[in-house]
A and B are shown apart, each in its own frame.
Chain A
Amino acid sequence: MSKRIFVTGIGIISGIGNNVDETFESIIQKKSGVTEIKYLKTNHKGKIPVSEVKLSEDELIELAGLDKNGSYTRSTLIGVIAANEAVKNAKIDNIKEYKTGLISGTTVGGMDKSELHYKDLLTTTKNIEFIESHDCGDSTERIADSIGVKDFVSTTSTACSSAANSMILGARMIKNGLLDRVIAGGIESLTRYHMNGFNTLMILDREPCKPFDENRQGLNLGEGAAFLVLESEELVKKNGSKILAEFTGYGNSCEAFHQTASTPEGKGAYRAMKEALDRSGLKPEQIDYINAHGTGTDNNDLSEGRAIDKLFGPNHPKISSTKAYTGHTTSAAGGVEAVLSILCIQNNMIFPNLNFKEQMKELNFSPVTELLENVKVDHVLSNSFGFGGNNSALIFSRY
């Protein structure tokens, strides 16, 4: 990038913790968030495991510090919690002091409430407040109002790469001088809608998922929200902001193959990673760790794995998918994994790919299966690939 972009704050909530500290603690204790369904009202309870945020809506409202009498979607609640943590982490006292934007990513939006009240909305005048919380912009605007962002708000919706694309737009707007600072990331709450959608595609594992394993059976859905505070070089200098990492590269490429599948050779994945490397000016061998998309589906892990082999083989960096911890948090995944990537850099650690046993016969690498400590982690590549062929890759570097 011609102009440098720095990460000065992170915030996260997912099935493995309600904040950054809890998340890190779960990771080092190898504690997965994937469990039996507790909060989502679905007939798949007890049959399909997921990684839910371990709080009821009342508990989330309290943690978010919102009015108990308000009507909120679960996306809004977890989004408000993660975004506020990121802002606090970046030690922003007066958000209006600099031109600040909020770019969130979501696909499910307010569907959790829509599906609960849909028949009412069709036939009665009950619960009509939820008509206006259905769309993807609702949670973004409520988060913006909660943290006081006014200069720019937007929402990406590219399925599982949404949060990554939010960060890319944020970085580009800062580079162009349109904003000094962007809070960027994504949100997804679990809904019957997309759980059943993924179920009809027959890509949900009935057991904890096994990314990059020869015998993988699919993914586990998860929910979560995660945001990064991105700042311009000028702002960081002026403010003396503490830099957590530098956002050094990004790539976005479309698979243009099938609405729900990627090419077996991972063309889009390859191009997205290659573009991210080219933009960062880094050579493949300089990447220390790849936080892979690694969902645990047959298709993703094969195409992503082959693309990694092609771009990085034979001297692969350390590779793992953290989806077995958090589940696949879909639109939030790029944010969740960006936070985890930055934690790796900060702590000189590489997080394990849980549940892995047997290397895929088509691939030339196995993922990291144990927590690696005191290792060199200067550059991390984080992949997010979505439905519709939307592939994005991000690179975070030690500053």
Chain B
Amino acid sequence: MDVYIKGIGNISPQNTIDSNIFLDDIVNHDAGFLTSIAPIYKEFINPIKLRRMSKLIKMGICASKLCLKDAGIENPGAIITGTGLGLVGDTEKFLNQVLDYNEEFLAPTAFIQSTHNTISGQVAIALQCFNYNNTYSHRGFSFESALLDGMLLIKDKDAENVLVGGFDEITPEHHSIVKKTRWVKNETIKSLELLDHKTKGTIVGEGVGFFSLTGEKENTYAKIKDIKTIYKPENKEEIEAKISQFLNENDLTKDDIDLVVLGINGNVDTDDIYYHLADNYFNTNYAYFKHLSGDYHTVGAFALWFAANTIKHQRVPEVARFRKENFTEKPIKNVLVYNHFREVDHSLFLLSQ
């Protein structure tokens, strides 16, 4: 059974809340990390409940409501989320309390909100949805696992439609920690200039993206033909072989792909494979997006939003074109997304019209 994207709710560092516009008004972030553009929450959430919610819970509930509204669905057949680090703000708050107050006089709220399944649970409460509910937290496979799970539910006819989401947040405190690793740039750059800085590390972003998946084709963004995760490939050849095999399994070749969306993140240590695939493997149009979203564990949700919208709008926004000089106007039927998380967790999404 085929799986289609019927609705999307995407809260990100760009203006992505309105599903009718597609990267028309770009925000160039220059604060060291990219934070999401907050919607007017009280339009979506009861103000009394809103006061008790931390940032990511508000974003999660709001994005899920935007998504279901977009899809015209009231209550989904399942709710599945993925997150790399969960509710970082609440985790920091409770952890600091435990350490600073020597395990005494602690308040439970931050702890209660800090488990990774908080968003899927809160969305279920908001919708009074008693159906299948799951949460994955596995680095660059967090959102991908949620998406795979959702697609299986539809294929197996366990659910008619499924709400699948990815969420991660960045806080100043967490940014100060991850900057100590080789994965995050030390210098502060303008996000749109991401690829001009040939240095180690990337820029960190955040976002919540929810998708309504269904088996019915009518009024949908795109078909998700297939997804695949590749764990620790040995070398470029293995990645190429896995891509080729993946396309083959879906009765396609690399020449059928109209657009390849690449997860280039500006890290000179790990971007090689993207340049290699663009210059030596595929021969088509390319797009990139992490200068718009920043990089984070569940950035695959932003990539899926981007890919689905290129098909819906039949357009690759100028700002997201990669290898612009070779870009040719053509219908967008098949889109492949390739992203990797720190060269360990590689993922492929194949979308079609």
Chain A positions near chain B (C-beta within 8 angstroms) = 42-44, 106-107, 109, 114-115, 118-119, 121-122, 125, 128, 131-132, 134-137, 140-141, 144-145, 150-159, 165, 169, 172-173, 175-176, 192-194, 196-197, 199-201, 252-260, 267-268, 271, 386-390
Contacts and interface: CB of A to CB of B under 8 A. Distances in A.
Contacts, number: 188
Contacts of B111: 193-194, 196-197, 200-201
B290 to A, nearest CB: 19
B233 to A, nearest CB: 9
A153 B178 contact: no
A156 B136 CA distance: 4
Nearest to A134: B85
Nearest to A256: B124
Contact of A200 (B107, B173, B232): B107
A91 B106 CA distance: 48
Contact of B152 (A144, A153, A165, A176): A176
Contacts of A194: 111
B245 interface: no
Contacts of A158: 116-117, 120, 133-135
Contacts of A196: 94, 98, 103, 106, 111
A288 B98 CA distance: 44
Interface residues of B, number: 61
Interface string B317-353: 0000000000000000000000000001100000000
B350 to A, nearest CB: 15
Interface of B: 79, 83-86, 94-96, 98-99, 102-104, 106-108, 111-118, 120-122, 124-125, 127-139, 141-142, 145, 149, 152, 155-156, 173, 176-178, 180-181, 229, 231-232, 297, 344-345
Given A134-B85, A145-B232, A256-B130, 7 more contacts: A43-B102, A118-B99, A125-B180, A135-B84, A199-B106, A200-B107, A201-B112
A172 B231 contact: no
B129 A256 contact: yes
B65 to A, nearest CB: 15
A122 B141 CA distance: 27
B225 to A, nearest CB: 15
Contact of B117 (A118, A267, A386): A386
Contacts of B115: 107, 157, 159, 387-388
A256 B83 CA distance: 20
A154 B138 contact: yes
A254 B131 contact: yes
B336 to A, nearest CB: 19
B138 A136 contact: yes
B107 A267 contact: no
